[in-house]
């Protein structure tokens, strides 16, 4: 619990919200500026700033809750699909610094759906750059794994 955190306030009930689900570890409520009809946020009750800080057990619980809620939302709202989204860091669009997963039902009917992809799907990448970046990350992750096993 952090006094200055908006989402901690929602969990505590000092900030109003439209709750859709709650269990021991997680809380889910409607987003106030929905990207589509039925946009939901799923958060851990224990405060973590972001994806890098959240403990394994809270991340697992939030992800499983988001899956359950996504299935229910698609069925209940008659959606055609669903996106899960996490923003980590201000430059990656994070505006509230209490970890959350967006559950965003998607509709063919665009009167219900205001989401657009921020990049042009199908634009071919630079194959050399893809290979270089992939190889660098593989080496880093492989090194971390070896260190952990030592």
| Interface with ligand 5GP (CB under 6 A) | 6, 17, 29-33, 41, 87, 93-96
Collapsing DSSP to helix, strand or coil, 44 comes out as strand
69 with 77: CB under 8 angstroms? no
User: For residues 95 and 69, is the Cβ–Cβ distance under 8 A?
Assistant: no
Nearer to ligand 5GP, 79 or 104 (CB): 104
The interface partner of residue 42, options being ligand 5GP, Zn ion, none and the CB cut-off 5 to 8 Å by kind, is none
106 binds Zn ion (CB under 5 A): no
CB 105 within 8 A of CB 77: yes
| Known catalytic residue at 47 | no
CB closer to ligand 5GP out of 104 and 131: 104
In angstroms, rounded to a whole number, what is the distance separating the alpha carbons of residues 42 and 92?
Answer: 18
Question: From ligand 5GP, Zn ion, none, which one binds at residue 92 (CB under 5 to 8 Å depending on kind)?
Answer: none
Q: Does 46 bind Zn ion (CB under 5 A)?
A: no
What gap in Å lies between CA 140 and CA 43, rounded to an integer?
A: 30
Q: Taking CB within 5 to 8 Å according to partner kind, which of Zn ion, ligand 5GP, none is near residue 98?
A: Zn ion
Task: Say how many C-beta atoms besides its own lie within 10 A of residue 93's C-beta.
Answer: 11
The footprint of Zn ion (CB under 5 A) covers 2, 5, 7-8, 47, 98
Catalytic (active-site) positions: 100
């Amino acid at each position: 619990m952090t006094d200055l955190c908006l989402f901690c306030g929602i969990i505590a009930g000092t900030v109003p919200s439209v709750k859709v689900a709650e269990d021991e570890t997680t809380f889910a409520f409607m987003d106030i500026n929905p990207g589509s009809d039925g946009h939901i946020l799923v958060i851990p009750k224990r405060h973590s700033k972001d994806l890098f800080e959240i403990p394994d057990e809270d991340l697992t619980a939030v992800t499983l809750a988001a899956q359950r809620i996504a299935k229910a939302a698609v069925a209940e709202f008659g959606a055609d699909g669903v996106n899960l989204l996490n923003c980590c860091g201000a430059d990656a669009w994070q505006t509230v610094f209490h970890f959350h997963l967006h559950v965003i039902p998607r509709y063919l009917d665009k009167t219900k759906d205001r989401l657009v992809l921020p990049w042009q799907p199908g634009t071919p990448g630079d194959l050399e750059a893809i290979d270089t970046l992939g190889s660098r990350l593989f080496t880093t992750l492989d090194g971390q794994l070896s260190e952990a096993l030592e």
